[in-house]
Structure 1
Amino acid sequence: MASRRMETKPVITCLKTLLIVYSFVFWITGAILLAVGVWGKLMLGPYISLIADNSTNAPYVLIGTGTTIIVFGLFGCFATCRGSPWMLKLYAMFLSLVFLAELVAGISGFVFRHEIKGTFLRTYSDAVQNYDAKDERSQAVDHVQRSLRCCGVLNYTSWFTSVYYPTSGIPSSCCADQSDCSPQDLRNATAAPSKVHQQGCYELVTSFIETNMSIIAGVAFGIAFSQLIGMLLACCLSRFITANQYEMV
């Protein structure tokens, strides 16, 4: 029995080392997801609010998931150093849940990427038609037009049928040069076209979000499949410790 324990000791030490390294990498992926969630809230918030019929909690989900992974990454390191079979099994169970959640998120990202154009065309057109320069969706429209240097849905003529145009003209966020774009110009259907951006926002926004959704979905897939390695290491280490009654310090 003693010789058998001596033979399995190097294996357990090797598994312990690999799992600690993995847990550290897992902790880093949590930090990445947390950063992506914060970035999504700050950078993609206006775009997401225009695409979704209702406000979405996707950035907060990423922030919460990243924070949870950071905590369990530290737990994984502690469980490995402690050599506790039940802690290692709990860690493996958590990794399996993360794997399933991120796999679903990755698939949903790719599906959403293909459905995004029709949804955005409808919601963005509605936001333009009911623009009042005050509510959240109107401010999101202004943000999109300023940051992407575009105007209207397909082009600036989208504003001619909006409820805002008869009294205020085209919004100033469409102006190509703010210093040479007066309210009188924006109310003049003849002068306005030479003062505003010519390209519509529809193609620019859908291209922008499709690209970023692909990145997020790719990261989710990559992290998800990495969980399989962690699950295997944690399960193997727990089995070796339990079978050989070996208590690591």
Structure 2
Amino acid sequence: YAMLLSLIFLIVLVAAIVGFVFRHEIKTNFESNLDLALKDYNVTADRHSEAVDTIQRTLHCCGVQNYSDWERTEYFSQRGIPRSCCKNQNDCSEEDLKDPNKAKQKVFVDGCFFLVTSTMESKMSIVAGISFGIACFQLIGIILSCCLSRYITNNQYEMV
């Protein structure tokens, strides 16, 4: 049991170190994937398009860096900026969304990349605290299981 707990502890520790060391690469990779999701965005609601819509609605943002990122997509030439960028769904027509000047008044202008990364970074202290607490319990479990194993080994040949 101690060996299994130690193995899990080491795997989590290595994952945390790798995540910390490569955090900038993770951000860059996320930005390029978000940009790719915008370029491949379509109305048929595939997983990536739904994810983009959910991020934009939830965080009140639009595009990667700002709303004008949509102007470089195929979707914009057909339908304009997606409705998920609208501040008010009832006051957002397709005609407004096709004109970038009109759209600026109707959609969220801030990009999603900064909002997503800042939200994740602000929650990292909570994640680190919870992870540290779990690691402490794992270490206590390892120590107690080693003590129990030693106790059982020492008392194995006790006289009855």
Is TM more than 0.5 here?
A: yes
Match of 1:139 in 2: 50
* Residue of structure 1 equivalent to 2:24: 114
Task: Please say if 1:104 is aligned against 2:17.
Answer: no
For residues 112 and 221 of structure 1, what CA distance do their matches in structure 2 show?
20
Alignment pair present for 1:209 and 2:125: no
Q: TM-score, normalised by structure 2?
A: 0.86
RMSD: 2.0
Is the 8 Å Cα contact of residues 68 and 100 (structure 2) preserved in structure 1? Answer: no
Q: How does 1:1-249 map to 2 (within 5 A)?
A: 91-133=1-43, 134-245=45-156
Q: C-alpha displacement at 1:168, in angstroms?
A: 0.2
Amino acid at match of 1:97: L
- Provide the rounded CA distance (Å) in 2 between the counterparts of 1:114 and 1:213: 14
Runs ≥4 in structure 1, deviation > 4 angstroms? none
Provide the C-alpha distance between the structure 2 equivalents of 1:179 and 1:188, rounded to a whole number of angstroms.
Answer: 17
How many residues in Structure 1 have an aligned counterpart in Structure 2?
157
CA distance in structure 2 between the partners assigned to 1:105 and 1:220 by the alignment: 12
Question: In structure 2, how many angstroms separate the alpha carbons of the residues matched to 1:106 and 1:218?
Answer: 12
Deviation at 1:192, TM superposition (A): 1.0
Q: Is contact 2:56-2:112 (8 Å) kept?
A: yes
Give deviations 1:169-198, integer Å, cap 9, x for gaps: 000000011111011111122211110011
Per-residue CA shift, 1:82-137, capped at 9, x if unaligned?
xxxxxxxxx21221122112212222332343333211221111111221132211
Q: C-alpha offsets along residues 190-232 of structure 1, whole Å, 9 cap, x if unaligned?
A: 2111100111111001112233455434433432243222212
% of aligned pairs identical? 55
Aligned partners of 2:25 and 2:146: how far apart in 1?
39
Q: Distance in 1 between matches of 2:157 and 2:105?
A: 79
Radius of gyration: which is bigger? 1
Output the CA distance in 1 between the equivalents of 2:135 and 2:147: 19
* 1:170 aligned counterpart, secondary structure: coil
Q: CA 1:238 to 1:246, structure 2 compared with 1: closer, same or farther past 3 Å?
A: farther
Provide the residue aligned with 1:11 in structure 2: none
- Asked if the contact 1:116–1:206 (Cα under 8 Å) also holds between the matched residues in 2, the reply is no
TM-score, scaled relative to structure 1: 0.58
Would you say the 8 A contact 1:149–1:176 is kept in 2? yes
Structure 1 SS opposite 2:99: coil
Deviation at 1:244, TM superposition (A): 2.4
